[in-house]
Structure formats: structure tokens, C-alpha cells
């Protein structure tokens, strides 16, 4: 039987019912990991888990979880440990947008984005770090955005949240390195998902023009670097932010 890089590993992926999160869960499962997929909708995330089980023959479960709720997060992490005994990999992918120019942005839209994209990541990392510290191993991968590095008009809330993810990644990498836990981030640019499907053709053309590779990425492009950061080939990498943006953030 062929050995796979993530055989015996257990991964949690948040925001896993579609888009980048779904592609990440599929890739980790294909590389041998048992995968727990988290999202708000139990039906949607279980459907993806079933698809993975049928496609790879691997272990995958779907769990309803609101990453903004500490009780919901802890219940989900406890469920994963009951099912698989341990946790080796956490991919913090859950995120939302509420785009608007600052002068039109409501306080609710600011709060919603910061709560999901930053507080949710904090709650997940804290809950998973506890068992990882006890086992003195683990890999935490935070999905940020190129917008968190270079900003974008109309996305002050999203950019602030994703910039916070970068700073959080650097800090947590320093905190946990001594316990054998690596913490890295992946910063996608424009990727073909539900979020970008809503752009009109004029906006898409303008964004593509700003990308040196002259195209949007695919969810699988992000999943590939997450798989690398989850496995043994990245064992000496921590506190890094990997851009997957077609060169968009080249200064």
C-alpha cells in the first residue's frame, strides 16, 4: 500500500462547505488525513464529507459549528477528539465579507467581519492548541488574504481582519514553537469562488489586469500550499505568510 504524506494525521478545516475550504479538505483527505469539516450548515458540510468518503475512501466527518461562539467551537473540537482521538492540523479558513466604502459601512458590517474572520480564528486556535501542546506537535494554518497585506478600497473591515490574521500568525508562531507546533498563513489573491462570482465583468477585467499572471487562481492552488504546510516537508517552517496571488502583491 502506497504511503501518503498525511497518513495517520487528523485535520480540522473550518469554512469547509464550499470554495477554498472544500478544496483544502479534499486535498488533505487525498493525502491521507482524516478530516473534520466545520461550517455553519450541518447539511452542507456533511454533504462534502460524504463526497470525500466516497471519492477517497478516507475518513471524513461534517460538524456544524459557529466559529464566533466559544461553546460551539469547543463542542466541535471535543467531537473531533471523540471521533479521531487527536488533532494534528487546524486550517482556519472560515471567513465572510461585507464590502462597502468606509463612509457607508455600518457598525454591524464592521463587527460581523471582525468577529468571524478574527475572533473565530482566535477561538479555534485556542481550543485546538490545548491538545496540541500536550502532544507537543501540530500545524496551524491560517487563511488570510492578499487584501490583508496591501489593502483594497471598499474592504476596510475585511482588510483589517485579514491583516490581524497575519499579526496573530506571527505572534502565535513565537508562542508555540517551543512546543513543537508550527503556525503559518496562506494569503490568496483573487480565487474563483462564490465570493468572486458576484463581480461584474468590468470589475473582473480590472482585477485580472492587476495580476501579473493575468488570471484568477483556483481553490486547488490554495489547497496545494496548505497541504505542504500540513506535512513533513515543511517541518522547519513557521511564522511565514505564503502569497498565492498570481503576483498581485509584488511591490
Phi, psi of 39 (to 5 degrees): -165, 170
Distance CA 74, CA 83 (A): 14
Distance CA 203, CA 128 (A): 39
3-class DSSP state for residue 212? coil
Place of cell 504524506: 5
Instruction: Write out the three cell numbers for 101.
Output: 466604502
Among 7, 10, 19, residue whose Cα is nearest residue 143: 19
- CA-CA distances (angstroms) from residue 56 to 9, 26, 41, 155, 226? 15, 9, 23, 38, 18
Q: Which residues are catalytic?
A: 158
Phi, psi of 243 (to 5 degrees): -80, 135
Stated length of the chain: 251
Helices (H), the chain: 19-30, 42-56, 70-84, 107-114, 120-135, 147-150, 156-176, 194-197, 201-209, 219-230
Positive or negative, the CA dihedral 18, 34, 88, 186 is negative
Amino acid at each position: 500500500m502506497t504511503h501518503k504524506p498525511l497518513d495517520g494525521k487528523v485535520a480540522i478545516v473550518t469554512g469547509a462547505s464550499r470554495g477554498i475550504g472544500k478544496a483544502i479538505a479534499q486535498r488533505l483527505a487525498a493525502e491521507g488525513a482524516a478530516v473534520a469539516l466545520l461550517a455553519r450548515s450541518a447539511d452542507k458540510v456533511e454533504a462534502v464529507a460524504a463526497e470525500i468518503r466516497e471519492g477517497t475512501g478516507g475518513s471524513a466527518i461534517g460538524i456544524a459549528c459557529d466559529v464566533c461562539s466559544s461553546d460551539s467551537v469547543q463542542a466541535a473540537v471535543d467531537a473531533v477528539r471523540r471521533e479521531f482521538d487527536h488533532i494534528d492540523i487546524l486550517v482556519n479558513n472560515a471567513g465572510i465579507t461585507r464590502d462597502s466604502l468606509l463612509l457607508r459601512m455600518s457598525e454591524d458590517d464592521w463587527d460581523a467581519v471582525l468577529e468571524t474572520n478574527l475572533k473565530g480564528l482566535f477561538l479555534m486556535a485556542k481550543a485546538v492548541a490545548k491538545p496540541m501542546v500536550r502532544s507537543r506537535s501540530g500545524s496551524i494554518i491560517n487563511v488570510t488574504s492578499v487584501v490583508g497585506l496591501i489593502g483594497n478600497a471598499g474592504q476596510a473591515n475585511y482588510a483589517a481582519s485579514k491583516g490581524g490574521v497575519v499579526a496573530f500568525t506571527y505572534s502565535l508562531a513565537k508562542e508555540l514553537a517551543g512546543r513543537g507546533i508550527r503556525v503559518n498563513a496562506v494569503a490568496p489573491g483573487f480565487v474563483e469562488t462564490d465570493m468572486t462570482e458576484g463581480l461584474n465583468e468590468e470589475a473582473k477585467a480590472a482585477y485580472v489586469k492587476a495580476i501579473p499572471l493575468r488570471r484568477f487562481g483556483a481553490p486547488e492552488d490554495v489547497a496545494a500550499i496548505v497541504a505542504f504546510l500540513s506535512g513533513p516537508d515543511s517541518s522547519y517552517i513557521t511564522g511565514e505568510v505564503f502569497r498565492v496571488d498570481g503576483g498581485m502583491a509584488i511591490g
